[in-house]
Structure 1
Amino acid sequence: MKTESKIFLFLIIFFAVVTPSYAYVTWQMGHFEVIGTTVFALTLLFCLMIWGLLVITGRTVGMRPEDRKDGEIVENAGALGFFPPSSIVPFWSALAITVILLGVVYGWWLSLVGVALGIWGACGWAYEFYTGDYKH
């Protein structure tokens, strides 16, 4: 996590310099650009959030083989986790998010339909391994 946290620390410093500079330059040109400044500020905050997560995780987990000079490839060998081979649940979740966002455009009632689909998708994620071929 050491290398990744350094990359995000560089991005934090970069956006901490660019955000006020952008705001000042657009203000001096006669029209303050709110959207651009907001985007830079949010990018700074998101990079700060990811950097904080990497630092906390790095302290909790400790040094990984990739972070050590004497780390070997074989140290990371083995299973990474369990992943389902196929599932329809991501499709339903993506459809729910799409319908919710289209509801903002076409009418809030459509967002309610998207929330219902989202509940269906969340239940699918939660109970995916309790039914069908992969139940245990």
Structure 2
Amino acid sequence: MTDQPEGTRPSHEAVEHKPGTVVDLNDYRRSLDPLPVTFHRRELDAILWIYGRMVGEGEWRDYAIDHLRDKAVFSVFKRSGEFPLYRIEKNPKLAAKQGAFSVVGSDGRILKRGHDLRQVLKVFDRKLKLLD
């Protein structure tokens, strides 16, 4: 047990190695690395619903999910091995400001950002029309 607040790393000077001290390995690992940001089940359901629709239309073919320390990313690919067409990101640090959810295009532009994931995913409801 430590006097450190949860989610912070102890400095090397603050950690004392006393012989004979028993340390719980799970507590030690949690103190070193905070848990990554993940998508909740309802968020993932909404994303996978859009993904399934776009796969059915032949637009998307593959995806990847990354859980990082500061954000969770759902990447969508036309073909595996290419750069992602879109990235659906959840960044909790931006929740109070611009919204935790965003859709990022392949060029890095943020296409839509907001607090509600379903509203942000409406960016995929737009139909692109060919202009003559």
Scaled to the shorter chain, the TM-score interval is under 0.3
Question: Larger Cα Rg: Structure 1 or Structure 2?
Answer: 1
Q: Say which structure, 1 or 2, has more relative contact order (CA 8 Å, 6+ apart).
A: 1
Scaled by the length of structure 2, the TM-score of the pair is 0.23
Higher helix share: 1
